[in-house]
Structure 1
Amino acid sequence: MQAKTDKADDVDLRVRRRLRELRTQRGLTLDDVAKRADIDVSTLSRLESGKRRLALDHLPRLATALSVSTDELLREPETEDPRVRAGSHSAKGITFWPLTRSGPAGGLHAFKIRVSARRRTPPDELPVHDGQEWLYVMSGRLRLILGDRDFTIKPGEAVEFSTWTPHWFGSIDGPVEAIAIFGPHGERFHVQS
């Protein structure tokens, strides 16, 4: 009897891990999956945390909610190469190197950026778009304009701002290297424009 219990525990643990992995890969919240699976969000939270055992009738609904087969939900997760392998992209005097995989829309995306020494003049109209931005300057001095305020960001300093504020950043006196994290929709504006 103990062997059956151990096997059931293994399946339960595997599905819990897989459920969380698939949900986060797709950028879905517990509420998103719960609505799609027609399961109470507290039930889903307890399933993921192991505070509730998985029932067989949950499997097909959860698989459908995550757009996978039931078999895929039950299988062992593949050990994935953790390295991010993506080339750089340049736009408007900034080169972007992805530090995160291209993930789900709505997730955070991190980049190492290099702002060209020639990017010194802001546009006549500062852009505004959905999202949130974080910048950490590693080298050089970054000029950041937020609305009617003008800032100099030095190495070792970080900034965070809503991209609903008219904004622009560029170089002051040479190239700038920074880490940038763009919240929902911000990466589309910067990287693809």
Structure 2
Amino acid sequence: MTQKDDELDSLVRKRVRALRVAQGWSLEELAARARISPSSLSRIENGQRRLALDQLVTLARALDTTLDQLVETDTDDVISSPVIDAAHGRMRWPIKAEPGMTVIRQRLTGPPPDNPARLRAHPGREWLVILSGTAVLLLGNRRFRVETNQAAEFPTMLPHALGAEAGPCEILGIFDRDARRGHRNDEDR
């Protein structure tokens, strides 16, 4: 396996675990839904068993997602800077908007969780604009520092968490329908 293959393998395993945890399911519950043994699922999540395509398809269905979302790796353009419209004196952040979007302004005061098991994954897409301060965005194995006037866009199928760096930060969060539903489930816990 190449390094890129290893990174994808690790990312998919983290997504499976994060989606299971986000649903509040035990290993046994997801294993029953996927019709595999709990020990096999545990070995898949922990990297002790090789991922097979047929298992990924079964796990994607059991987790109510698609195989494409489970293996998506498009994280190259996570951070973006604003576009300055000097003629109108405006700053804007282009996003791929769609119907059913929710916009939320939040104040973050603490760092992101230091426990990788606390990262969440769920269907959807999320956009952030940092209004003030500096945020730390954890996406899978990667850590991004997002500063005032920068924006981030990412698929929420990546295990993720957000926090403040060295003091409070204000963010504008934009969620598609699926991402907002995933965050509502987190709020209910």
Shared fold per TM-score greater than 0.5:
no
| Larger RCO (CA within 8 A; separation ≥ 6) | 2
Greater fraction helix: 2
